[in-house]
Amino acid sequence: MKATVQIAGILLAGGNSQRMGHPKALLTYNGFSFIDTILNNLQSAGCQPIISVLGEAGDTICESTSVNNYECWYNPKPQDGMLSSLKIAIEKLPAECDGFVLTLVDHPAVQLNTYIEIMKLAAENPDRIIIPQFFGKNGHPVFFGRRYFKQLLDTPKDQGARIVVHQHQDNIHFLAVEDSGILKDIDTPEEYQALQH
């Protein structure tokens, strides 16, 4: 086993934010954009490298956030779904990477401590899938060890990473956290308003 475990952070922000009517990455939470909030958390937790995948609003996001301080790639066909963005990121991971923490741009309320707990557990269990739970409900971000990379790349785009999780139930570590932010998926103006209050 390697002396140190290298865990990447992958941030998916390729959706067209149709229901929100505005790029979700640029919405603010506690004074910072969603994307900057999450990037800061990934960095503070020790993810290396940190890779963002953007979609149609990519240029606008790059102009007004810190996304260019990290690795950043465009998904030319974001309409192919979230897994199509994830595949782009996995293909950019360095050979020495032991796994990645997958986070979504519409989950800005996840606490830094949750990222830290996932990273700590992932370093001890780099072959597992780690899913945080709040009162028994699964949320994001999710950790995938290197052993799942090929299967994620081979999964049809229309199925999503959930299929891979489903096929490895016996190798999932559920991490209980005191963080309701793992469940807060901000997709609509109503959900955003509720988050602000």
pLDDT in tens, 90-146: 999 999 999 999 999 999 999 999 999 999 999 999 999 999 999 999 999 999 999
* pTM for the structure as a whole: 0.94
Residue 2 inside a domain? The answer is no
Predicted confidence band of residue 3 (pLDDT cuts 50, 70, 90):
low
In this predicted structure, the answer to whether residue 157 has a pLDDT above a threshold of 60 is: yes
Domain tally, the chain: 1
Let me know if residue 190 belongs to a domain.
yes
Q: In the chain, what is the straight-line distance between the N-terminal and C-terminal CA atoms, in Å? A: 46
Mean pLDDT of 27-35: 94
Cβ proximity of 140 and 102 under 8 Å: yes
Asked if residue 1 is part of any domain, the answer here is no
Q: Which two tokens stand for residue 3?
A: 């002396």
- DSSP reduced 3-state for 73: strand
- The whole domain housing 133 covers 7-196
Q: What is the CA radius of gyration of the chain?
A: 16
User: Is 151 inside a domain boundary?
Assistant: yes
Residue with tokens 């956290």: 177
Supply the CATH number for residue 48's domain. 3.90.550.10
Residues 6+ apart with CB under 8 A from 41: 110, 112, 115
Q: Under a CB-based contact definition with an 8 Å cutoff, are residues 7 and 143 in contact?
A: yes
Residue at 173 is within a domain: yes
